[in-house]
A and B are shown apart, each in its own frame.
Chain A
Amino acid sequence: MSVASPVRPAIPAVILARTEPRPEPRPAHRRSWGAWWVYVGLLIGLVFLVGPFLWMLASSVKTSAELHHVPPTWIPQTFTLENYTTIFTKLNFPQYFINSVIVSAFVVGSNLLFCSMIGYALAKLRFPGKNAIFLVVLATLMVPQTVYLVPLFVLMSNLGLVNSYAGMILPFAAQALGVFLMRQYILSLPDELLEAARMDGAGEFTIFRRVVLPLLGAPLATLGILMFLGSWNNFLWPLIIATSDHMYTLPVAVATFSIGQNAVDYGLLMAGSVVLIAPVLTVFLLLQRFVQQGIATTGLKG
């Protein structure tokens, strides 16, 4: 399961939801009366939801003087990139960014590999202990992260992995959510396909690599995005395991600055937040379309 955010959506459902609500044929008079005030209401909601992001963006290019102006301004009077220059040259943000990229890349990669392998085994192979494995994995989904943080830290310190990439990656390298996603999808692949390959004398690893994996594009894309979002935004565990500045990931760095000596330097904090949020929003906005196409062409149900 992903990270310790107050709500960790088990599955960001926007990705799995079918592309568009089916337009319902409705009598014309029905559509006409309710519509305008519903649009207005939804639009007000949208302003409140997107507003803080725009505020962040505008504030990140304001001068310190303008940030402390009363009343606050929306449009920057003097445009400056000084906040960005500062976090990238005087503060250690390039390092934090690289750390976040490394950790996320390994979390995504290992989950794609390990979850598709065990998903294939659970969906298509018969072996003793299969149900037990599935139940154990299922049972851990409800366990809050708080429960295992303390012993996990004890374990990591005994393995000498505190303040290391491995220490940040390993607890998230094999996540239950991925098993469900992959198993569910692989169950829907026809057995005949695998039988045909077996008849041709292909070994199980060849079948997995040549027959199964090429069919897993859509669920792998979905899983990859979910794991990236979870890992990039992950905060509590990196906060605990990264004990020195040069190992901080972006969320740890931004949070640490926000409660440390830069607590009131909102220009730097907003620039840091932009750097933290921008990659995720980019991935989400770009791949949202890609994944929906994937879902549409493969017929994967939401």
Chain B
Amino acid sequence: MSAQQGLVASGSRARPAARRGRLREALTGWAFSAPFLIIFLTFLALPILASFILSFTGFSLGNLVDPFSARFVGLDNYVRLFHDAKFLQAAFNTGYFVIVGVVLNVALGLTAAVALNHGISRFRAVFRVGYYLPVVSSIVAIAVIWRFLFNTDFGLVNGAFHAFGIQGPDWLGNPTLAMPVIIVLAVWRNFGNAMIIFLAGLQGIPNDLYEAARIDGANRWQEFRSITLPMLRPTVLFLTVITTIGFLQLFEEPFVMTQGGPLNKTLSVSMYVYQQGFNFFHQGYASAMAYTLFVVIAAITLIQFRVLRSQT
């Protein structure tokens, strides 16, 4: 990296003029960095650190005016988490959503990318752009549309059931069905992104490999199993990690579609943090919950890197 070169160059044999030049360069560097850093440190880095401290306090609405008056409560918030049935339910829901959602998302993204790259030779751009439309669209709007699609009486989905003479279920009001609908929505919205990243990965696979396999008489499935999949392992790793990080922060879909119900079966950890922090004003407790989520995200990321890397 050029900074290391800089350190090497700044040895003792530098002359005064050069030293002045370096000083000016350093000042310029800081001047160029300052506007970004001031905003970034104040509104991002500082809150991240403050959240950690907050999680050990009983910070609530009364402390808003004078944050330093908050009482230190040690690990109480963290202990409370594990006795809070609603939190445990939210953690379970989020885990369920992430495990099923991430697997489906990566699998579907890979399928679409391989189909697009190896299966067809025309209209690729149409599919690529079409599959990507939901990714750039507002989740709030999409969640509203989907709530309408799955409406018990007037929705398109139950309309299709109706055509076969079947009365469709109350999808979002059913404790068993509500989360699967949200999972399908999340995968529908996001697999286009996985597809695009897989497409970039597919282009990195040298064509000679396929040609050699063909000479050896490999069929398409064998090509996929022994060339495409192993070569895409880094992409699978990358996608699994970023999708997991993203899915663990589930918020908008249940907020708009179910408000966490029915029976808290779609309440996510992020939603519960929001409720505790901004509806009940238990900011200390909310921070402990948020930091727990962060630690889980960091741990899962590390584990996924270890596991998937050790297999290669």
Query: Which residues of A are in contact with B by a Cβ distance under 8 Å?
Result: 4-10, 12-14, 16-18, 20-24, 27, 31, 34-35, 38-39, 41-42, 45-46, 48-50, 52-53, 55-56, 59, 67-72, 110, 113-115, 117-118, 120-131, 133, 136-137, 140, 142-155, 157-158, 170-171, 173-174, 176, 179, 204-205, 208, 229, 232-233, 235-236, 240, 250-251, 254-255, 258-259, 266, 269-270, 272-273, 276-277, 280-281, 284-285, 288, 302
Contacts A71-B163, A302-B200 given; indicate if A251 touches B129 (C-beta within 8 A).
Answer: no
Contacts of B283 in A (CB 8 A): 150, 154
Q: Are A17 and B25 in contact (CB under 8 A)?
A: no
Contact with B129, one of A69, A150, A259, A288 (Cβ below 8 angstroms):
A288
Q: Is the CB of A6 within 8 A of B251?
A: yes
In the complex, B171 has a CB within 8 A of chain A: no
User: What distance in Å separates the Cβ of B100 from its nearest Cβ neighbour in chain A?
Assistant: 13
Chain B contact residue count (CB 8 A cutoff): 126
In chain B, positions 129-169 with a C-beta closer than 8 Å to chain A are: 129-149, 151, 153-156, 159, 162-163
Q: Which of B25-39 contact A (CB under 8 A)?
A: 25-30, 32-33, 35-37, 39
User: With the chains together, A6 CA to B98 CA distance in Å?
Assistant: 10
With CB as the reference atom, state the residue of chain B lying closest to A120: B32
Q: CB distance B133 to A126 under 8 Å?
A: no
8 closest A-B pairs (Cβ-Cβ)?
Answer: A127-B29, A38-B119, A126-B6, A7-B246, A148-B47, A151-B50, A121-B32, A273-B141
B141 touching A276 by the CB < 8 A rule?
A: yes
B297 within 8 A of A: yes
In the assembly, what is the distance between CA of A133 and CA of B38, in Å? 12
A154 and B154 contacting across the interface, CB-CB below 8 Å: no
Query: Known contacts A118-B33, A122-B33, A147-B51; is A52 also within 8 Å of B278 by CB?
Result: no
- Residues of A near B242 (CB, < 8 A) are 7, 9-10
B244-264 interface with A by 8 A CB criterion: 245-253, 255-256, 259
In whole Å, how far is A290's beta carbon from the nearest beta carbon of chain B? 14
Closest to A255 in B: B140
* Alpha-carbon gap, A266 to B278, bound state (A): 28
Identify the B interface with A (CB < 8 A): 1-3, 5-6, 9-10, 22, 24-30, 32-33, 35-37, 39-40, 42-48, 50-51, 54, 59, 64-65, 67, 105, 112, 115-121, 123-149, 151, 153-156, 159, 162-163, 186, 188-190, 192-193, 196-197, 199-200, 202-203, 207, 210, 214, 220, 242-243, 245-253, 255-256, 259, 269-270, 273-274, 277-278, 283, 286-287, 290-291, 293-294, 297-298, 301
- The residues of B that contact A20 with a CB separation of less than 8 Å are 124-125
Chain B residues near A118 (CB, 8 Å)?
32-33, 35-37
Report the minimum CB–CB distance from B110 to chain A (whole Å): 13
Please state if B141 and A149 are interface contacts (CB–CB under 8 Å): no
- A21 with B290: CB separation less than 8 A: no
Q: Which residue on chain A has the smallest CB distance to residue B286?
A: A150
Contact partners of A173 in chain B: CB under 8 A: 39, 43
From known contacts A24-B207, A49-B133, infer whether A133 and B144 are also in contact, taking CB-CB under 8 Å: no
Q: Are A233 and B137 in contact (CB under 8 A)?
A: yes
* Residues of the A chain whose Cβ atoms lie less than 8 Å from the Cβ of B28: 121, 125, 127, 204-205
B51 touches A151 (CB 8 A): yes
A-side contacts of B29, CB under 8 Å: 121, 125-127, 130
Tell me if B207 and A232 are in contact (CB < 8 A). no
12 contacts between A and B (CB under 8 A): A9-B246, A34-B118, A42-B120, A55-B148, A70-B154, A72-B156, A126-B5, A126-B22, A142-B297, A170-B42, A276-B140, A284-B133
A258 to B259, CA, bound (A): 11
Which of A155, A157, A250, A266 is within 8 Å of B154, CB to CB? Answer: A266
Cβ contact of A49, chosen from B33, B130, B186, B246, cutoff 8 A: B130
Given A144-B297, A155-B46, does the pair A276, B138 have CB atoms closer than 8 Å?
yes
Assess the A45–B131 pair: CB atoms within 8 A.
Answer: yes
Most buried by A among B6, B120, B259: B120
Query: Are the C-beta atoms of B25 and A270 separated by less than 8 Å?
Result: no
- Contact partner of A38 (CB less than 8 A), chosen from B48, B115, B130, is B115
Chain A: which residue is nearest B70 at the CB level?
Answer: A154
Partner of A48, one of B65, B117, B138, B188: B188
Q: Are A18 and B203 in contact (CB under 8 A)?
A: yes
Sample of 18 further A-B pairs with CB below 8 A, known A151-B46, A266-B151: A7-B190, A13-B193, A13-B197, A17-B200, A34-B119, A38-B120, A70-B162, A118-B33, A128-B26, A146-B290, A147-B47, A148-B51, A157-B64, A158-B65, A170-B43, A174-B43, A204-B28, A255-B144
Contact at B124–A12, with CB atoms within 8 Å? no
A116 CB to nearest chain B CB (Å): 9
CA–CA, A205 and B124, complex, Å: 44
Chain A residues lying within 8 Å of B146, measured Cβ to Cβ, are 52
Most chain B beta carbons < 10 A, residue from A14, A35, A122 = A14
- Distance to closest chain B CB from A148 (angstroms): 4
